[in-house]
Amino acid sequence: MQHEGLEDGKKACITLYATALSNFKPMQVHEATVLLRAGGKSHTATATAHNEGMFHFELTPEAAGDGMLYITVGNETAHFDVCVAEHGAEHAHAHNHEHSHEGHSHSHSHEGHDHSAHSHAPHPGHGMETEGNPGDVTLTKEQSWKIDFATEVATESDFGGSVKVVAKVEALPEDFTTVVATTSGKVKFAGNVVAGTKVSVNEPLFYLDGSDVTDNDVAVKFAEAESNYELAKADYERKKNLFIDKIVSEREYQAAEALYLQSQARFESMKRSFGAGKVTLRPSMDGYISAVHVSNGDYVEPGTVLATIQRSGAVNVVAEVPVRYALMLQNIVTVNIETAIGVFDMVDFGGDCIIGNSVNECNMLPVTVTINDLPGVVTGSIVTMYLSFAPLTDHCIAVPRTSIVEEMGNMFVFVQNNPISFEKRSVKLGETDGHYVQILSGIEPGERVVSKGGIILKLSQGAAALDPHAGHVH
């Protein structure tokens, strides 16, 4: 809230900015009301939104004295101490310098909205700026609404040890398979077989042509299998009838039946994959091609891996931790994984952490976290893993990691002195779990810091100073 002081009998202009702390954007309300009570008199004014979240009021106090200004936005009400001066007196700036931090102090409202106030006390012909300390950076409400901006109160937190390690994303063993050559021959691709292509069980991927290999012609082998099957079938049917008439022994009949079933299985197997003189190879599950291991026209032997097929779903995030952390790994309370799009807690994605019982050849302990559908990761990618342990220290201050601004190797946060004024404060950092970072010195519990948009304030400080009156109506 802004005004240039209140005088009895003189019209006063008040500008109100209403911010929703859920997203730090202007509140989506159409109307707001102010009620002034001072010197035993009351005065009410109502205004519709000048712009989203912005309201302009005009009212004329009828009596001097200390009082209260009530502001109602939607279903919420906040109140502020004010002083109405006598008209024409040298006045007010000792009483009209009230400030409140966003969401608390001098306001009685539901949590989640910002009914914050700052004032300008009048001097002859102009208002005196009282919006912050010398050297503070000014960011008006209109400016903060246009960027990704947020603030958060620095709180005390239980911070244990934390280990930051690099990890690799791998597919679960049951989620990938290979397409293997079943005979020797030349490979022919059945279409655009490249990494990333979606495939299904019934879709041909490769053909194997052995016609150019004299001693391994697939067509000859198929003809042999078909011929053997037909002969075995005829012999089986003949001996079956003879067995019924008790002309052949049971042993001869069973031998003929076994040979028939074997030749039938071989023939049917070749028939499913053989056609037009070639062997057709298909994937054994739906998914996508993660790697192709041969080129079109290559000659391959039986058992050669032609492609790797993978399906989407859960992944393993695998890291190696120095063995000196072995005891601490027994007290892991959470694992956070940082990807290109953010930091995620394994618990939110049904994660399960498995600690290796023995070191590998590099004297490191393997740590595997199984995650379901982790956003922003693909198998083979590298991510950052934060292993957080049970609290081992006293309460300490923690702020969002996004609050930290680096400058020339030094770390800073911006502390909010009032709704539009911010102080750059040097801090010393401690542990981090990926989301929050421990502050060893520089700020106190309860101070409100910028959690999003600090880089904008840094750039504003480094560039020409912002107009302190930008967006203000007096």
C-alpha closest to that of 225 among 268, 182, 275:
268
Residue 389: burial class (beta carbons within 10 Å; 0-12, 13-18, 19+): buried
Give the pLDDT score at 248: 84
Residues 372 and 393: their CA atoms lie apart, in Å, by 32
* CB burial readout 222-253, b (16+ within 10 A) else e: beebbebbeebbebbeebeeebeeeebeeeeb
CATH code for residues 131-158+394-474: 2.40.420.20
C-alpha closest to that of 261 among 280, 245, 237, 242:
237
What is the per-residue pLDDT across 143-186, written as a single tens digit (0 to 9) for each? Answer: 999 999 999 999 887 776 688 899 999 888 888 889 998 878 88
Given CATH 2.70.180.20, say whether it is the number of domain 181-284.
no
Give the pLDDT score at 272: 59
Question: In the chain, what is the greatest distance between 2 CA atoms, to the nearest angstrom?
Answer: 134
Residues 350 and 315: their CA atoms lie apart, in Å, by 11
CATH code for residues 161-172+313-391: 2.40.30.170
Give the pLDDT score at 222: 64
In 294-433 the beta strands, taken as DSSP E runs, fall at 299-300, 305-310, 315-322, 332-339, 342-345, 352-355, 364-371, 382-391, 396-400, 405-407, 410-418, 421-426, 428-432
Give the pLDDT score at 373: 76
Own/partner pairs, 271-279, CB within 8 angstroms, 24+ separation = 271/222, 273/182, 274/218, 274/222, 277/209, 277/211, 277/218, 277/219, 278/185, 278/188, 278/207, 278/208, 278/209, 278/218, 279/182, 279/183, 279/185, 279/207, 279/208, 279/209, 279/210, 279/218
Give the pLDDT score at 210: 67
SS3 470: coil
Question: So where are the chain's domains?
Answer: 6-129, 131-158+394-474, 161-172+313-391, 181-284
Stretches in the chain below the pLDDT threshold 70: 88-132, 160-161, 210-222, 269-277, 391-394, 462-474
Superfamily designation of domain 6-129: Immunoglobulins (2.60.40.10)
